[in-house]
Structure 1
Amino acid sequence: MFLTLKHFALPHCGATLALAAACFVAGLSAGALIAPVAASRGVERAPPRTEPATTALRSGHPAEVIRVLDGDTFEARVRIWPGMDVTTRVRLRGIDAPELRARCEDERVKALAARDALTRILSEGNVGISRIGQDKYGGRVDADVSTARTPDVSAALLERGLARRYSGGRRAGWCG
């Protein structure tokens, strides 16, 4: 079952988008509670998988990347419950990358480099999103993102100089 936040949104209705994002976060949170509740009631767990560590999901909810939008945002199909996937935009928590709709050529070049780096990192596979929260603009979520080889995608982009730390408020420009 695939749902998108667009299914819940009415044109120009911020409250509806906020409600849809809140429902998404609530669904993810509820899904995280299933295993502990089942264990407390004596429900047997499946035997652990014997896959190599490079292919195991590091943490959070499995996400299939549909497309990379820019250096800090991608669209993904996220498994929030067995048999239930949600398509949403995911913004990397704690960073800001240059914008593709750049104010200057320098910012545009940096934005392309950040987008390409994020594309390469996400192509490692086994993408997981965790610590999911509502984005301040609605229509997407903020999350920590990991892959098969990169435990913290935001930190990887920061280390490469392709993004800056961001915790809200006014963002600094990338020109000059």
Structure 2
Amino acid sequence: MPNGPSLTAVLFAGGLVFVAGYAAGGGWALPREGVAQTPAPPPTGRSAATEQRSAPAGTGPAYPAELLHVNDGDTFEARVQIWPGMQVTTKVRLRGVDAPEKFGARCESEYRRAVAAEDALRRLLQAGGIVISRVAFDKYGGRVLADAATRETANVSEALLASGLARPYEGGRRGGWCSEAAR
């Protein structure tokens, strides 16, 4: 039986020391109590195409995005520029709307409406100049919740609502699309 600490205990303690030292040395910007944390602005002197675009007042930073795939009527996959030279690929769930589901549709009407909503979202996003803002983690993980705009559409969610292909959604349980009231 060894007299000293186990290898696991030594590695765990060493990891804690490393993390604490890295954070204290400025490796991470850890929030400090009572100090407001704001993101640093992008570096200046770069072209407008490589910098975060400005968003409407009160919405936080906006990020240029390249459409990769439309998943359904309220979700798309995009390559998002989070900082000059830094991109992430993520699924973006549109804030404030619920569109019918194509996969798992409970009736023919829901399926047809889902296809129409997906096609409408694709047309809106293919206008280009996509920018996402008010980005937050989605409740399901693996995607983000955000507002989206294009060079032709100031708010993609509002455009889908105006077309009747989506309905307002602020979280919680979503209703079905097969009843007369949903049509």
After TM superposition, is the score higher than 0.5? yes
2:115 maps to what in 1?
112
How many angstroms apart in 2 are the aligned matches of 1:94 and 1:172?
14
Q: TM-score, normalised by structure 2?
A: 0.67
CA distance change for structure 1 residues 72 and 85 in 2, over 3 Å: closer, same or farther? same
For residues 153 and 169 of structure 2, what CA distance do their matches in structure 1 show?
20
CA contact (8 A) 1:58 1:148 kept: no
Partner of 1:16: none
1:89 — aligned with what? Answer: 91
Q: Does 1:100 align with 2:102?
A: yes
Once the two structures are superposed, residues 115-138 of structure 1 have per-residue CA deviations (whole angstroms, 9 ceiling, x without a partner) of 000000000000000000010000
Residues in 1 aligned to 2:76 and 2:141: alpha-carbon distance in whole angstroms: 15
1:84–1:47 Cα change, 3 Å: closer
In the other structure, the counterpart of 1:71 is 73
Task: Tell me the SS of whatever aligns to 1:136.
Answer: coil
* Gap runs ≥5 in structure 1: 1-28, 39-43, 50-56
- Structure 2 matches for 1:138-153, cutoff 5 A? 138-153=141-156
* Partner residue, 1:168: 171
Identity of aligned residues (%): 57
- Unaligned stretches of 5+ in structure 2? 1-37, 56-61
- Aligned partners of 1:163, 1:124: CA distance in 2, in Å? 20
What is the CA-CA distance between 1:97 and the residue it aligns to? Answer: 0.2
- 8 A contact 1:74–1:91 mirrored in 2: yes
For residues 81-135 of structure 1, what are the alpha-carbon distances to aligned partners after superposition, in whole Å with 9 as ceiling and x for unaligned? 1111000000000100000120110000000000000000000000000000010
Contact 1:65–1:75 (8 Å) recurs in 2: yes
**8 A Cα contact 1:58 1:128, kept in partner:** no
How far residue 47 of structure 1 moved from its aligned partner, in angstroms, is 8.1
Contact 1:58 1:146 in 2 (8 A): no
Where 2:72 maps in the other structure, the secondary structure is: coil
Deviation at 1:164, TM superposition (A): 0.6
Superposition RMSD in Å:
2.0
Larger proportion of helix: 1
> Counterpart in 2 of 1:4?
none
Structure 1 residue 34, shift from structure 2 partner: 1.7
Alignment of 1:120-159 (within 5 A): 120-159=123-162
Q: Whole-Å Cα distance in 1 between the matches of residues 175 and 120 of structure 2?
A: 21
Q: Distance in 2 between matches of 1:48 and 1:81?
A: 12
TM-score (normalizing by structure 1): 0.70
